Amino acid sequence: MIGLRSGLTLGLILASVGLLVAAVAAMFAHSLGPPSADSFQHGMVFGLFARDDPGHTDKGLIEMKALGVDSVSIVIPWVIADVRSSSMAPRGDMTPSDASLRYTIGRAHETGMRVFLMPILYVDKMEDDEWRGTITPADWKVWFDNYGAFILRYAALAQELGVEYLSIGSELCSTEARAQDWLDLIAGIRAVYRGRLTYSANWDHRGDLGFARELDFLGMNAYFELSQEDSPAESELVDAWKEIRAEVETWRSRYEKPLVITEVGYPSRPGAARNPWNYSAGGVPDLEIQLRCYRAFRSIWGSEGHLQGVYFYLWWDDGGPTDNGYTPRGKPAAAVIWQWFTK
């Protein structure tokens, strides 16, 4: 196993040598093209958001390519005022522009990578336990009409630009029982988009998906709580994942569909395994606990036969040893990705 010191050393090697290798590979990637849509998705969520900067995009794609990433997820947030609202809209400080999406998708394909578009809803005003998983509009028909227009907009763009994968929704737990509404929406999407479709379920809400039969694969955001300790041993994390994987497999097998983990990630701070979903928590930088979480995840899921892909969260910011956020950039966790994805 790679310790913290050796992990940092490999990280420096990747930073200096890997980028050169990726740059050379990128020169030939256009003629080779991205991998088949059927092959395993070695994925990373790319922090594009509203940053319209070709230099940022190019640098990020080259760095991810150096890690063996062959599939890039782009999150597209639209804002809903509160959980009772029926309308949603883009917002300038978080939604990628169409021009930025076109550039990033085009460059990803030129670099030999596939693209996964992930439109999501961001709830602007929340109280108590409210979030996008508890949306309860007064009129569901109006909500689905507006939501459908949102998704169809990006389905049409995805078809135009040859995007390989599209999520029709993410973590919308309170909507999942409305199977016919989802089936009607999927039929509309299929009329304009020929790529692969999924829905990204939340880690703690693996309920009945009456529309799963119309998806190409199941999606799941995997921010499971693995330990209550600030700095648990890697063996404890592995044991927690063994039990979770069995539960997830029971859910997956109900639909006889392959699974893609559409998001999984850990901040580099104490308690990262306790509440990996809590992006607002603070703490001093702790690269070791992030590394353990990555290693434990790979040790369990790296050999899962029904897993068709995984997207790590998030390639964003400068990273490095003084960063306590989610990005593995410049941290030992990046070596785990490199070892898995380039094996």
Would you state the pLDDT for residue 32?
Answer: 65
On whether the CB atoms of residues 168 and 187 are closer than 8 A, the answer is no
Give the pLDDT band of residue 256 (cuts 50, 70, 90).
very high
Q: DSSP letters along 270-325, please? A: TTTTT-TT-TT------HHHHHHHHHHHHHHHTT-TTEEEEEEEEE-S--STT--S
Structure confidence at residue 288 (pLDDT): 98
State how far the alpha carbon of 223 is from the alpha carbons of 241, 264, 274, in Å. Answer: 11, 6, 9
Query: DSSP labels for 116-184?
Result: EEEEEEEESS--TT-SGGG---S-HHHHHHHHHHHHHHHHHHHHHHT-SEEEEEES-GGGTT-HHHHHH
Please give the Cα distance from 156 to 17 (Å, whole number).
Answer: 39
Q: How confident is residue 83, by pLDDT bands cut at 50, 70 and 90? A: very high
The fold of 4-29+50-341 is TIM Barrel (3.20.20)
Gap between the Cα atoms of 125 and 337, Å rounded = 36
**Each residue of 236-253: b (16+ CB within 10 Å) or e?**
bbbbbbeebbeebeebbe
Residue range 3-30: mean pLDDT, rounded: 42
The average pLDDT across 40-57 equals 97
In this prediction, residues 228-244 reach a mean pLDDT of 97
Write down the pLDDT at residue 15.
42
Instruction: Please give the Cα distance from 46 to 122 (Å, whole number).
Output: 18
For the chain, the domains span 4-29+50-341
> 72: which strand partners?
44, 115
Query: CA Rg, the chain, in Å?
Result: 19
Query: What average pLDDT score do residues 293-306 get?
Result: 96
Task: Provide mean pLDDT across the span 165-186.
Answer: 98
pLDDT above 90: percentage of residues in the chain: 86
What number is the average pLDDT over the span 59-71?
98
Amino acid at 308: Q
pLDDT higher than threshold 80 for residue 61: yes
pLDDT of 343 = 84
Concatenated DSSP letters for 137-153? -S-HHHHHHHHHHHHHH
Q: Which residue in this structure is represented by tokens 């020169």? A: 27
Task: Quote the CA–CA distance of 269 and 287 in Å, as a whole number.
Answer: 7
CA 109 to each of CA 35, 70, 241, 296: distance values in angstroms, whole numbers, following the listed order: 10, 10, 34, 31
The DSSP element (H or E) to which 31 belongs, if any, is: helix 19-32
Using 50, 70 and 90 to split pLDDT, how confident is the model at 10?
very low
In the chain, the N- to C-terminal Cα span, in Å, equals 15
Q: CA-to-CA distance for 122 and 101, rounded, in angstroms?
A: 19
Q: Which residues have CB under 8 Å from 270's CB, separation 6+?
A: 230, 231, 283, 284, 286, 289
Residue-wise pLDDT for 96-132, tens only, equals 999 999 999 999 999 999 999 999 999 999 999 999 9
**In this structure, are residues 186 and 169 in contact, taking their beta carbons and an 8 Å threshold?**
no
pLDDT at 7 over 80: no
pLDDT given at position 5:
42
Q: What band does 170 get if pLDDT is binned at 50, 70 and 90?
A: very high
d(CA 64, CA 319): 14
pLDDT value at residue 101 = 98
User: Predicted confidence band at 12 (pLDDT cuts at 50, 70, 90)?
Assistant: very low
Residue 210 near residue 177, CB atoms below 8 Å? yes
Phi-psi category of residue 299: left, alpha or beta, with phi > 0 → left and psi -120 to 50 → alpha: alpha
In the predicted model, is pLDDT for residue 29 greater than 50? no
pTM score > 0.85 for this model?
yes
Confidence of residue 207 (pLDDT cuts 50, 70, 90): confident
